[in-house]
Amino acid sequence: MIRKDKETTLTKKQKPLSFSRYVYPTLGKLTFPKAVFLYMLGGALGNLWEIIFNLVKVHRYFVCSGSIFTPFNPVYGLGLIAIVLALRRFHSIGEVFFGGALLGGIVEYVLSCFEEYVLGVRSWNYSSWPLDIDGRTTVPIMLFWGLLCVIVIFLIYRPLDTFFERIPRRFFLFAALFFFSVICIDMFFNASAMFRYTARASDIPPLTAFGEWLDRVFPDSFMKYVFPSTKIQ
């Protein structure tokens, strides 16, 4: 009886690691290099989706990257990271779908508020859509986010997670640091150019040489081409 109790205690305390967990110690964990490459993948796929959507809807090509130097749309890049962070531990399609729908709506709403109140612009407005929420998101789009999350978790993230584990760690880290630096530089110039874009609309002159340089290199015509859906509030 005592021996059986000891065996039960050992079983509870010492659960053997699965073979895949032994071979790939960070499997299922969102490490820094994985996050960087997932951001780029989400941003690139989101950019492609927006281009195709506009070609089908209005039969015109629009630049949809939302970035000056890279093809990575920040909304979709950050959205993919948020999806993986929040839903990677779920195993049920239903849980991922409804959790993803709610998460997608929250991300869109928060980013819309950030753009309007911090940058003074709005890149999307769903006021004409059914079941919209302050024009910042809408139920049909949230359901689309839910479906997208199912695809991301089950068809993209989990196969990619195993693939990432097979890349030599040092190379993976250095590559991630390089692309992260590029993304940070891109975001810095995005924010700086957008601040000057909105300031020019209010006839506010540049206060520094850097501001003057931004006005020359990124004039209104350039900003309207790169950010065609952005409306200054």
How far apart CA 24 and CA 22 sit, in angstroms, is: 6
Q: Summarize pLDDT for 108-138 with one digit per residue, the tens.
A: 898 888 888 877 777 778 888 888 888 889 9
pLDDT digits (tens, 9 = 90+) for 156-214: 888 999 899 999 999 999 999 999 999 999 999 999 999 999 899 888 999 999 999 99
pLDDT at 10: 43
Q: Say how far apart CA 151 and CA 12 lie, in whole Å.
A: 35
Return all residues near 151 (Cβ < 8 A) that are at least 6 apart. none
State the pLDDT at residue 14.
Answer: 46
**b/e for 104-115, b at 16 or more Cβ within 10 A?**
bbebbbebbeeb
d(CA 99, CA 105): 10
Q: How far apart are CA 66 and CA 46, in angstroms?
A: 10
Per-residue pLDDT tens digits for 23-79: 566 777 889 999 999 999 999 988 888 888 878 877 777 777 788 899 898 888 988
Instruction: Classify the C-alpha dihedral 138-103-228-41 as positive or negative.
Output: negative
> pTM above the 0.85 mark?
no
